[in-house]
Amino acid sequence: MRFIGFIIFFVYVYFEISFFIVVANSIGVFLSLVCIIATSILGFSLVKTQGVKNFSIMKQKIANNQNPKDEIIKSVALLFSGFLLLIPGFLTDILGAVLLIPNVQEHIVRFLVRKMPIKSRFVSSQTFDQNNDIIEGEFKHKDDE
């Protein structure tokens, strides 16, 4: 059971290197390296812009006293996508770019929300209705001896 992680890692590395060799043979090694760096930079900027947009939607939902569960799951998908785009390699860049597509994110959100066993209720502290009940009492401050 311990070795499954190692096996998956080595299979991933094998496919990543094989795919890089295929691309490098067709367009050249230097251009392949430039493409990997460019996709990482482009993907990181896309993750940043989508993350800012998702954060503003989340703030609006919180201000309207709505549940931001979907946006939180999208943020996790964006974080995972950014991590995949940061790892050098064509396969991880392709998978990270696929996770940036909004329709794919919507399907992931629907799938995960359906699988969540917990029903949540969201109450914002900004619009919390406080009662004006006053509780009076007395206290003594005791020093630790």
Is the CB of residue 43 less than 8 Å from the CB of residue 97? yes
Has residue 84 got a pLDDT over 60? yes
**What is the pLDDT of the chain when averaged over all its residues?**
80
Instruction: Supply the pLDDT for residue 128.
Output: 47
Task: Answer whether residue 29 is part of any domain.
Answer: no
31 within domain boundaries: no
Question: What's the domain range around 64?
Answer: 38-115
Distance CA 113, CA 65 (A): 19
Q: How many structural domains is the chain composed of?
A: 1
pLDDT in tens, 5-61: 889 889 999 999 999 999 999 999 999 999 888 888 887 788 888 888 888 888 888
Considering the chain, what percentage of its residues have pLDDT values greater than 70? 83
Separation of alpha carbons 107 and 110, rounded Å: 5
Whether residue 142 is predicted with pLDDT greater than 90 in this model: the reply is no
Q: Is 46 inside any structural domain?
A: yes
- Report if residue 141 sits inside a domain: no
43, 98 contact by CB (below 8 A) = no
Confidence of residue 132 (pLDDT cuts 50, 70, 90): low
Structure confidence by residue, pLDDT tens digits, 57-79? 888 888 888 888 778 878 888 88
